Chain A
Amino acid sequence: MRRKGYLGEFEQLVLLAALRLKEEAFGPGIAAELEERAGRRVSRGALYGTLDRLEKKGFLNWTEDVGGPERSGQPMRLFQVTKEGLAALRASREAVRKLEAGLEELLGETR
């Protein structure tokens, strides 16, 4: 059973991408962001699975938008990172920072 609050690496990346995209975070946008910024090619099956999971954990929610002919008339989901999601991201980052302390030389200087 998964513990609430735990974030996998890929989940972190997805949340960060959604944050960057602000109001425009829909599936293809997130995929493009991951590919461009993080150099991660992501299969759509895995992506929607992760979005689903993040939603169930309460880290993401979405609002519905209408779709045009470009989308074959299908609706669009725009994702927002929730307060819990933001908190989880901070916690992960904090944990990483603490663990990294003293290892800067070994890991190379971070920006």
Chain B
Amino acid sequence: MATPPPLLSALLRLVLSDDVTGRSIHGDLDQEFRQRARRDPVAAARWYRREALSVAGHTMARAVSPAARRRRHLVSRNGSKARKGDPMLQVFLRELRYAVRTLARSPRFTLVAAFTLALGIGATSSIFSAVNGVLLRPLPYPHAERIVGLWHGAPDLGYEQFGISPGIFYHYQTENQVYEAMGLFAPTQETLTEDAAAERVQAIATTRGLFDVLGIAPLMGRTFTPDETDEGGPMVVVISHALWQRRFGGDREILGRSLRVDGTPREIIGVMPRGFDFGGANREAELWLPLRMNLETSPPGSFSFQGIARLRPGVTPEGAVAQEEALLQRIREQYADSEAFINFLDAGGFHPISHTLQEEMVGDMQRPLWILLGTVGFVLLIACANVANLFLVRAEGRQREMAVRAAMGAGRGKLASHFLVESFVLAGVGGAAGLAVAWWGLPLLLRMAPPELPRLDQISMDGRVLGFTLAVTVLAALFFGAVPILRFRIPKLLGVLRYAGRGTTEGRERHHLRNVLVVGQTALAMVLLVGSGLLVKSFWEIRRIDPGFETADLLTFGIMLPEADYPGPLETAAFHTELLDRLGALPGVRSVGAVSSLPLAQSASGTAHDIEGIPTAEGELPPMFWYKYATPGYFETMGIAVETGRVFRRSDHEGDYGNILVSQALAERIWPDQDPMGHRIRTTGDTAEVGWNTIVGVVESTRDHGLREDPIEVLYYPMVGPRVEEDYATRQLTYAIRVQNPTQLVSQVRDVVGEMDPNLPLAAIQTMDEVVSDSIVRLTFTALALGLASFMALILGAVGLYGVLSYVVNQRTQEIGVRMALGAQAGQVQGMVVASGAKLALIGLVLGMAGAGGLTRLLQGLLFGTQPLDPVTFGGMSVILLGVGLLASYLPARRAATVDPVSSMRAE
């Protein structure tokens, strides 16, 4: 049987009286809902929502309308059924009206308090929205928790995690009992031509299984059939929703049409729904192509593919790994004659790895997000402490009012409920304003967020964010509402009446609570200051690292030549050479060059190499090097220094073949005490004499994998190798142009490329400075957010300290007047007040340092060149905090020093 929407049901229970009348109304609605749900559950739920709200609204309106109250009064006198449950509501409504009126009477207090809360709650809600969207919201796939990525690791060779080879995938797929479905895929990039302008798009070449694993059906058409993903299958393509909209205007008749992908026409057989995204390379994928590969006969050692699988119900990722390990034993026997593969398995500590898709997509953003949430939680606590302090101050001023109420018979509960209702009203206003802050702030936050932050599109304010904000608001209200309640006890209040508010200095105990709050605030602010200080210092340290090239004044962009138009290495090299010449002739261009993978932006390929004269020992693996293709001019343009020998010149790909360059890091490892010049290197497995390449130069090492990673050992090939026609063709190169104002050159570059081939799109147009900032965006984002939060914390903490001291000075005006009348100097009075503020700040500082010492360890993975207990940061931040504390104390102190003894005593 259908169940009525639970939230509304709960609302009805809350609003309707608990007698036959109320319960029968609830029953009527439930019964009618169920009858309607049998015909149309969705319409029934809508109906229930409407009618439940209408009943709740009418009931509440009757309860509060004065006429209804009068009527009830008459009825009960007439002896009819009296309604129960209403008195509580009445009391609540009366308190509510009273609280609203009191708050409205002191608008300055209300505004400051609500504003403080709105900032704290708004910041917390915004960050929680991000945490919710990225970490908590489930992926949009059925039983997404059962989807895992298939990875492997060979830690002994320095490879923490890489993909899967088609050979291994084939065996896993045919022999396992743990997976329901499996898919093998590889990201590629393709150029679309025909009809519209040429365009580079991200694509995925995949087996059919990928779609089965994710459990998402195409919006239109179908995905691949088994024979389409086989070797030599028909040329088909599935396109993304975005591409369908952008390039075909959402044409309904799209299926069966043809699309030229890299020069080859393919039939469009399906359109995927919007938001079909499973992270990584797929995030921007717009095409899915069949893999067209015979998995059974493909080599077992080519790990440039990725695997994804759906676990059978009840199987854990660990269980799946155990089975893969068992299968690997059998696979090992199958390939016993492939020595290199067996060596790789044995020497590397080869083992399978499995992550759920959610873990994979969220990856290393998890920690920064939780840290940020914790941080804004601190800011909120500080804000609450401030409001609690304001409340306390205000409550002191209202002692007489409270005392009168107590004398007239109001119990402690009644007074307490008054404060609570007041704090709830205030928190409600603050919470609502906080939601508005989050509503406006969230888009700003998202603009600041790292673009690689996964699931960015999932970040929005949903029911859970609202619920969270509500919970935070209630907790905040309880926190600062409880504080004045703790302070007031009725006998004491009656004492106030007796002494009729004679001004005396408060006793120690009365200050105690406020001081505790200020110390707590200062301590929290100190923790945040240290945290953000450490991140800012890491940021500095990272920016000081030499990446191995000059980052300023460089424009970069990618070009991909389609195979259909540029079939061989000579055609591609001729194109690149001409483009280099034409770009070099542009006004202002100092030099230009191109490379197959740009440092910090793209990853080079790596493979095993044999070195002439250094044989690989039995059971050992030949050394792995990264390799790239580079044109003449690349090293000069990037500012990569030549250590020995020379860089490429035009003759290296125009007849004088077989010359290569190596990076300093490579040279130092292989020939630590020797000159590497003239030595020969060849790809492992290549046995031909023509495969040997001679080192003609050593160049500075670059940090390709990130500023905080080691420089890489890389080998540079020219665009054309000794085999000339059969060699790999450098279709994809990234160009670098050294020019004064890089961004102003973009349109001229476009024109030049367009003149040579109007079908060639430019990809990833960026300055090198942008590439570098993008590579550390996670640190930048975290540092910036934490910096912002700690700035807020510092300001709020200072306001708290200032508020308390001002109040104390006010309270002590008469005492100070007496002191000054007795001869105290202004300086002495000033010092006294500043000292009391400094004492609070110092205690908070020490506590905060202790807290920071414990908490900064959480930042470890984000820090660079800085220890979590870095004394410079701790010291520097202490100085800042104390400075701000002293300033906050100085202002009230100056006021204290100007107290006029005569008028202060006359005021008595």
Contact = CB atoms under 8 A, between A and B. Distances in A.
B28 A28 contact: yes
Interface string B1-39: 100100000000000000011011111111110110000
A43 B54 contact: yes
Interface string A56-87: 10000000100101111111110000000000
Contacts of B27: 67, 71-76
A67 B59 CA distance: 22
A71 B51 contact: no
Given A27-B24, A56-B80, A69-B1, A74 B55 contact: no
Interface in A15-33: 26-28, 31
A49 interface: yes
Contacts of B105: none
A76 B24 contact: yes
Given A64-B20, A75-B23, A77-B20, A45 B28 contact: no
A56 B75 contact: yes
Contact of B28 (A26, A69, A73): A26
B25 A27 contact: yes
The residue in B53, B58, B59 that gathers the most chain A C-beta atoms within 10 A of its C-beta is B58
B623 to A, nearest CB: 74
Given A27-B24, A70-B1, A48 B55 contact: yes
B28 A27 contact: yes
Interface string A26-47: 1110010000000000011110
A56 B35 CA distance: 30
A79 to B, nearest CB: 10
Nearest to A58: B80
B28 A76 contact: yes
Given A43-B51, A70-B1, A48 B23 contact: no
Contact of A75 (B24, B58, B62): B24
Contact of B51 (A45, A49, A72, A75): A45
A14 to B, nearest CB: 14
The residue in A27, A44, A71 that gathers the most chain B C-beta atoms within 10 A of its C-beta is A44
Contact of B59 (A27, A45, A69, A71): A45
Given A75-B23, A75-B24, A77-B21, A45 B30 contact: no
Given A67-B27, A72-B26, A77-B21, A44 B55 contact: yes
The prevalent SS among residues of A at the interface is: helix
Contacts of A48: 25, 55, 58-59
B883 interface: no
Nearest to B53: A45
Nearest to B4: A72
B57 interface: yes
Contact of A72 (B30, B56, B75): B30
Contacts of A70: 1, 30-31, 34
The residue in B26, B54, B57, B80 that gathers the most chain A C-beta atoms within 10 A of its C-beta is B54
Given A45-B57, A49-B58, A56 B71 contact: yes
Nearest to A69: B1
Contacts, number: 74
Task: Give the contact-size bracket for chain B.
Answer: 20 to 34
Contact of B24 (A45, A46, A69, A74): A74
Contacts of B62: 49, 52
Contacts of A67: 24, 27, 31
A46 B80 contact: no
Interface string A68-111: 01111111110000000000000000000000000000000000
Contacts of B1: 69-70
A52 B20 CA distance: 12
The residue in B21, B26, B28, B56 that gathers the most chain A C-beta atoms within 10 A of its C-beta is B28
Contacts of A77: 20-21, 24
A74 B30 contact: yes
A75 B57 CA distance: 22
Contacts of B4: 72
Task: Give the contact-size bracket for chain A.
Answer: 20 to 34
A46 B27 CA distance: 17
A44 B20 CA distance: 17
B30 A71 contact: yes
Contacts of A69: 1
Contacts of B55: 44-45, 48
A46 B54 contact: yes
Contacts of A31: 32
A93 B270 CA distance: 69
B634 to A, nearest CB: 75
Contacts of A46: 54, 58
A69 B53 CA distance: 23
B31 A71 contact: yes
Nearest to A48: B25
Contacts of A52: 21, 62
A74 B4 CA distance: 14
A106 B432 CA distance: 57
Contacts of B71: 56
Contacts of A27: 24-25, 28
Interface in B53-108: 53-59, 62, 71, 75, 80
Contacts of A49: 58, 62
A61 B56 CA distance: 23
A49 B32 CA distance: 18
B28 A71 contact: yes
Contacts of B30: 70-72, 74
Contacts of A43: 50-51, 54
Interface string B42-56: 000000001101111
A49 B58 CA distance: 7
A44 B29 contact: yes
Contacts of B28: 26-28, 44, 71, 76
Interface in B847-874: none
Contacts of B54: 43-46
A32 B845 CA distance: 71
A10 to B, nearest CB: 13
Nearest to B72: A56
Given A56-B71, A70-B1, A77-B21, A28 B57 contact: no
Contacts of B24: 26-27, 64, 67, 74-77
A75 B20 contact: yes
Contacts of B58: 45-46, 48-49
A72 to B, nearest CB: 4
B121 to A, nearest CB: 33
A56 B81 CA distance: 10
A55 to B, nearest CB: 9
B477 to A, nearest CB: 30
The residue in A31, A45, A76 that gathers the most chain B C-beta atoms within 10 A of its C-beta is A45
A100 to B, nearest CB: 33
Nearest to B48: A44
A54 B51 CA distance: 21
A2 to B, nearest CB: 9
A28 B28 CA distance: 6
Contacts of B57: 45
B26 to A, nearest CB: 5
B102 to A, nearest CB: 33
Contacts of B56: 45
22 contacts: A27-B24, A27-B25, A27-B28, A28-B28, A44-B29, A45-B54, A45-B57, A48-B25, A48-B59, A49-B58, A49-B62, A56-B75, A69-B1, A70-B1, A70-B31, A73-B27, A74-B23, A74-B24, A74-B30, A75-B24, A76-B27, A77-B21
Interface of B: 1, 4, 20-21, 23-32, 34-35, 50-51, 53-59, 62, 71, 75, 80
Given A56-B75, A71-B28, A76-B27, 12 more contacts: A43-B54, A45-B58, A48-B58, A48-B59, A49-B58, A52-B62, A56-B71, A69-B1, A71-B27, A72-B30, A74-B24, A74-B30
Interface of A: 26-28, 31, 43-46, 48-49, 52, 56, 64, 67, 69-77
For the complex of A and B, list the 4 residue pairs with the smallest distance between their C-beta atoms, beginning with the closest. Answer: A74-B27, A45-B58, A45-B54, A71-B27
